[in-house]
Amino acid sequence: MRKLIILKSLVDFIWIVTCIPMIGLLVFFIVFMFIDPESLHLVFDMDEDFLKSSKIMTQIFGLLFVLLFLIGIYCIYLFRKTLRYFQKVKPFHDEVILNFHKIGYLLSAIGLVGAILIFVARLILKNEFKINLGLSPYILLICLGLFFMVLSEVFKVAKHAKEENDLTV
């Protein structure tokens, strides 16, 4: 139980210190990105000439990256919500299983879309064809997402077994 308290405290700390301010900063960046396209140099490393010729394309890529960050913050929110059920000693609640499945689906989507987005951004913005076959954060996000999906299925099976056990006694 002590480990759960430490985990919940760390996740709450990350939520308060990082995620809440990040939401405001990302919303500000979305607005500022469309007002001053020069701010996109913070996200994309590209030539000055290309930025002037293709502002809309870089703004779309910037918007998609910000959207991926916001989805990641939502996953942390769902994880916090799930940890509350663990603290209430309700690990087999339907909401826990649903949250694990949502987190897994969203993290896998972030990893897949992020990898594709990086590839396309390099191809379009830098005219560079580069495929990363090594360990990347996007592969790790896909693996973490699949882990949460498997965890959801394990909890679903355990809930079913618990219900059968409660009925037979």
With 90 as the cut, is the pLDDT of residue 79 above it?
Answer: yes
Q: Whole-prediction pTM value?
A: 0.86
Query: Which CB contacts under 8 angstroms, 24+ apart, belong to 34-41?
Result: 34/59
Number of domains within the chain: 1
For 105, the domain range is 2-168
Mean pLDDT within 126-152 = 88
Contacts of 125 (CB under 8 A, 6+ apart): 44, 46, 50, 54, 57, 58, 61
- More confident position, 50 or 36: 36
Q: For 2-49, write each residue's pLDDT tens digit.
A: 999 999 999 999 999 999 999 998 888 888 888 877 766 666 655 555
Per-residue DSSP letters for 30-46? HHHHHH-GGGGGGT---
